[in-house]
Amino acid sequence: MEELFNKVLQVNVRCRDCEERKANIRVTIELQLTTSPVHKRDLLVRITDDIDPYFLFNLAISEEDFQSLKVQQGLLIDFASFPQKFIDLLNLCISEQTSDSPRFLLHLSCQSPVLEGPANFSVIETNAFKHLNHLSLRLSQASDKEVKDYLAVCLSSLKAEKHALEMKLKTTEDDLTRQLNYAQQTLSEKTKELDKLRSEWTTQTSSLSSLHSQELQLEREKALE
């Protein structure tokens, strides 16, 4: 399994008899390679909500499925180019998210009053003349088992990430401890050197002062004679 895309995008959600609303939805695109019993490639599209763990819609597109999609929607690319072209469209939507009048929009719509059952996930280009539907994918709502399996994978991934962060934290802590010990040792050695220099300087100053006093006293005695 190769992950090609995983980002949160702003999506316009529309259900039957409901006002359109905006939602932040995570879009994941993965390429699954199967070699047994035959070699084939499937493109897996998944949309989830980081806030709602039960929100899960999936679509698996095989090379055969893509040929039907290509004919139905008049696509001009082959299956090998499709994943990157799809990602390019999603990135165009991301670049337009902050615009007051975005040209590229994502729509998620279903025929039920709530977001459930099959849903159409579409990339739409808008202009003053018309709305141009570049791509529309029909995603299926995940079953209870699929949701559980997905959450189990997420939990396993979080545990692995937590373990990796703990190991990184432990390594960083050990490095900082070594650096601190080295700094303390260096400071102690420099402090000893400074104390030694200060002692030598004091001794030397005292010796010079005593010698100077003796010489001064001799000069006074000579002057009196």
Number of Cα atoms under 13 Å in the Cβ half of residue 203: 6
**Per-chain mean pLDDT for the chain:** 91
Domain architecture of the chain: domains with CATH: 2-142 (2.170.210.20)
For residue range 173-207, list pLDDT tens digits in order: 999 999 999 999 999 999 999 999 999 999 999 88
| 87-115 as b/e: b if 16+ CB within 10 A | eebbebbbebeeeeebebbbbbbbeeeeb
pLDDT at 8: 95
Read off the pLDDT band of 28 (50, 70, 90).
Answer: very high
For residue range 69-109, list pLDDT tens digits in order: 999 999 999 999 999 999 999 999 999 988 888 899 999 99
Q: Give the residues across from 34 on adjacent strands.
A: 40
In sign, the C-alpha dihedral spanning 166, 149, 140, 54 is: negative
